[in-house]
Amino acid sequence: MGKAVSILTKNLKNINIDTIDDYLAAGGYEGLKKVLTLTPTEVIEKVKNSGLKGRGGAAFPTGKKWEEAAKVKEDSYILCNADEGEPGTFKDRYFLEFDPYRIIEGMTIAAYAVGGREGYIYIREEYGKQKEIIIRAIDNAKARGLLGNNILDSDICFNIKVISGAGAFICGETTALIQSIEGGGGRPKIKFKRTAESGLFGKPTLANNIESYCVVTTLFTDDAEQYLSLGTDESRGTKVISLCGNVENPGVYEVPFGITLREIIYDIGGGIKDGRDFKFAQIGGASGPIIPKSMMDLKYSYEDFKKEGYSIGSGAVLVADDTNSVADFMVTVQEFFVHESCGKCTPCREGNRQLLKIAHKVAEKKATQEDLITVKRVANVMKNCSFCGLGTAAPTVMVTAIQHFYDMFD
Ligand SMILES: Cc1cc2nc3c(=O)[nH]c(=O)nc-3n(C[C@H](O)[C@H](O)[C@H](O)COP(=O)(O)O)c2cc1C
Ligand code: SF4
């Protein structure tokens, strides 16, 4: 299938997850066994040297985050962000559903490396089936002595609880997620101290995305060499993407960093559905940029996207064909943000409403040059003054639509 690979994703749909046996037969827990022959510092060093950047969207270096957590003398809570609320993103769902033990193993490696006894998987309410699967996998791991006290006869004692959110996009943001687990409203909170020092219940906390934990597990297996041989200098390895919209073969694929968008859409996705023409792709979910046809040879890597002022975000690649209207798409995305803005800060709460009004005007062909200036002004305030990442990223779709489809405003 084109340039897709199967390293991190090799178990997806290939093992029976009802018992832990298939996972063990496929090399599962070899990673943790290897980790136990290393010191926690050596484990963190290996994660740092891999160049792994967090796969939840912000691309923060995972090894650096673990190093900060390890410096704190108390045990850390090990959080796994399974909220996956970004529209068009469904790659974490695949790990939950088809390779849950890889997530559990990765969290256990983190517990050993930074020092932790309790873990939480925060899973979105809509993932009911996946929640049942991960709970069963935790029970199976416990029954085999792979969770609980003295895991693999070591000193590690680690347990995992599963908590559901109520299905709000903002609950994927770490401070909102923490408040939600604590029983409060899922809203971002000001950080006086780093999460590594004061997070869940005011205690040291390490939070990572599902895919990040899965990469960590892979880094300590025989697959590590092959994994790290792929990608580019600054984006090593692969990214698991969720390809959706008007392509022939939508789905979850593992792609090496450095692949072009054209290769993703045409070689892997089988091209535009029903032989139609490509119009644009939105990368990284609703918060991501719109990419026009002229940029189809852009390489999918952190550094190539950064050069354009974009980020690759969560891994969503949503494709629109020539029957889709950019203006209608902007309306849909802005409606999403008006609905999901938690309302705590003015730039995001009011800015999204203003942008939606203008998106409607564009769709009705009533927008003026003054509206265009207003979009830029509002977007600038939102980007610089919003309290959290939802508000700073929300104008991206309109800003990039203006950049690439300026004639809509004519
Ligand atoms: C509005 C918003 C929603 C987010 N949703 C998610 C999510 O669903 N899953 C996720 O892993 N990270 C999400 N994040 C990013 C997290 O705040 C955090 O950076 C990430 O979970 C850290 O893990 P990583 O370093 O392994 O990527 C979201 C951030 C924002 C601002
Ligand atoms: S940016 Fe939006 S989601 Fe974030 S705190 Fe402000 S209002 Fe809430």
DSSP secondary structure of 129-179: HHHHHHHHHHHHHHHTTSSBSSGGGSS--BEEEEEE--S-GGGGSHHHHHH
- CB-based burial label for 365 (10 Å; 0-12, 13-18, 19+): exposed
- Mean pLDDT across 44-62: 97
Find the 81 Cα to ligand 1 centroid distance in Å. Answer: 7
Find the 62 Cα to ligand 1 centroid distance in Å. Answer: 13
Find the 370 Cα to ligand 1 centroid distance in Å. Answer: 35
Say if ligand 2 is within 6 A of residue 345 CB: yes
- Mean pLDDT across 249-274: 97
Q: Evaluate if residue 289 carries a pLDDT over 80.
A: yes
Report which bound ligand comes closest to the CA of 344. 2
Q: Closest Cα partner for 101 from 235, 11, 192?
A: 11
- Structure confidence at residue 139 (pLDDT): 98
Q: Evaluate if residue 337 carries a pLDDT over 90.
A: yes
Q: Evaluate if residue 148 carries a pLDDT over 90.
A: yes
Displacement of CA 408 from its chain's centroid (Å): 31
Report which bound ligand comes closest to the CA of 337. 2
Name all domains of the chain by residue range, CATH numbers in brackets. Answer: 21-228 (3.40.50.11540), 230-321 (3.10.20.600), 326-409 (1.20.1440.230)
Q: How many CB atoms lie within 10 A of CB 31?
A: 23
- Identify the H or E element spanning 316: strand 316-321
The two structure tokens encoding residue 404: 């690439």
Report which bound ligand comes closest to the CA of 382. 2
- Mean pLDDT across 249-260: 98
Nearest CA to ligand 2 atom 4: 388
Q: Evaluate if residue 123 carries a pLDDT over 60.
A: yes
- Mean pLDDT across 251-274: 97
pLDDT in tens, 25-38: 999 999 999 999 99
Q: Evaluate if residue 362 carries a pLDDT over 80.
A: yes
- Mean pLDDT across 278-301: 97
- Structure confidence at residue 53 (pLDDT): 98
Give me the percent of the chain exceeding a pLDDT of 70: 99
Say if ligand 2 is within 6 A of residue 343 CB: yes
- Structure confidence at residue 192 (pLDDT): 86
Nearest CA to ligand 1 atom 2: 173
Find the 85 Cα to ligand 1 centroid distance in Å. Answer: 9
CA trace torsion 38, 39, 40, 46 (10° rounding) = -50
Give me the percent of the chain exceeding a pLDDT of 90: 96
Report which bound ligand comes closest to the CA of 348. 2
Q: Evaluate if residue 115 carries a pLDDT over 90.
A: yes
pTM over 0.85: yes
- Structure confidence at residue 409 (pLDDT): 67
The whole-angstrom separation of Cα 43 and Cα 2 is: 34
- Structure confidence at residue 191 (pLDDT): 87
Report which bound ligand comes closest to the CA of 349. 2
pLDDT in tens, 185-209: 999 999 888 999 999 999 999 999 9
Q: Evaluate if residue 360 carries a pLDDT over 50.
A: yes
pLDDT in tens, 378-405: 999 999 999 999 999 999 999 999 999 9
- Structure confidence at residue 165 (pLDDT): 85
- Mean pLDDT across 151-167: 94
Say if ligand 2 is within 6 A of residue 57 CB: no
Confidence of residue 1 (pLDDT cuts 50, 70, 90): very low
- Mean pLDDT across 85-106: 97
DSSP states along 5-65: B-STTTTTTTS-TTSSHHHHHTTTTHHHHHHTTS-HHHHHHHHHHTT-B-TTTT--BHHHH
Residue 174 CA, closest ligand 1 atom number: 17
Average pLDDT of the chain?
96
Say if ligand 2 is within 6 A of residue 391 CB: yes
Residue 124 CA, closest ligand 1 atom number: 8
Find the 58 Cα to ligand 1 centroid distance in Å. Answer: 7
Ligand 1 pocket, residues with Cβ under 6 angstroms: 54-58, 60, 62, 81, 83-86, 169-170, 172-174, 207-209, 212, 388-390
Nearest CA to ligand 1 atom 12: 56
Q: Closest Cα partner for 284 from 244, 236, 317, 328?
A: 317
The whole-angstrom separation of Cα 288 and Cα 383 is: 13
- Mean pLDDT across 285-301: 96
Confidence of residue 166 (pLDDT cuts 50, 70, 90): confident
